[in-house]
Amino acid sequence: MKKLILTLLMLSSFSVLFAQEKVELEGVTMPRTISYNGKKVQLNGFGVRSKMWMDVYVQALYLTNLSQDATYILDSETAMAIRVEIISSLVTSKKLSKALNKGLIKSVGGEENLRPIQASVTKLDELMNLEPTRQNDVFILGYNPEDSSIMIYKNDVLRGKINGGKEFKKAFFGIWLSPDPVDKDLKNDLLGIGN
């Protein structure tokens, strides 16, 4: 009986949370839905990425179909996006790019496994370093299933597109959702398990 009541309370608070148009975390307001390239996706989960006991960015995962199954999401051929809002003045383009590269290495299980997608990794590094990254910058990193590309938006402006195919998409979203993510607590938050 206790479990049933607890489950009902969790479900009702989850419903209230997602009935709101916007959600706030660490002073960052995240919309319930976002649109990019004609695709509309909805908030699945959100959390804070911390490094060395310092919060560096607030991140949210947006999906076409909400899910708590990381494998399903990584294998899915539907529109999805990561929204990252920088909350630390210590984050630079170079540091962000380096963190994404390290995350890709973890996602694919080692640097040697990056070879098949190296051109896409290089393009990601190039796009993330086009201009300085500052506190309050917002990135939308969206997957377009029509051409299997990752689209990079910064502050609502399309900065470029990576035509990396499904393999790169899986590795890219695997930074946060693979069996060996950059941050296990953040993975649970993005899946809506930790919120």
Please report, rounded to a whole number, the percentage of residues in the chain having pLDDT higher than 70. Answer: 84
- The CA-based angle 58-32-49, given to 5 degrees, is 10
Lowest mean pLDDT among 22-26, 48-52, 61-65: 22-26
- Taking residues 5-26, what's their average pLDDT? 50
Q: What is the pLDDT of residues 97-156, one digit of tens each?
A: 999 999 999 999 999 999 999 999 999 999 999 899 999 999 999 999 999 999 999 999
Q: How far apart are the C-alpha atoms of 164 and 159, rounded to whole Å?
A: 16
CA end-to-end span of the chain, whole Å?
23
Q: Residue 164 pLDDT > 60, yes or no?
A: yes
Q: What is the pLDDT of residue 91?
A: 87
Q: Write down the pLDDT at residue 59.
A: 92
- E strand or H helix at 4: helix 2-19
Strand 22-25 to 80-86 pairing? unpaired
Which residues are bridge partners to 78 per DSSP?
A: none
pLDDT at 11 over 90: no
pTM score > 0.75 for this model? yes
DSSP state letters, 69-132: -HHHHHH--S-EEEEEEE--TT--HHHHHHHHHHHHHHHHTSGGGGGGGHHHHHHHHHHHTSS-
Maximum alpha-carbon separation in the chain: 56
Express each pLDDT in 132-147 by its tens digit: 999 999 999 999 999 9
Q: Give the burial string for 112-139 (b: 16+ CB within 10 Å, else e).
A: eebeebeebbebbbebbeeeebeeebbb
Separation between Cα atoms, residue 188 and residue 195, nearest integer Å: 8
Percent with pLDDT over 90 in the chain: 69
* Position 184 pLDDT exceeds 90: yes
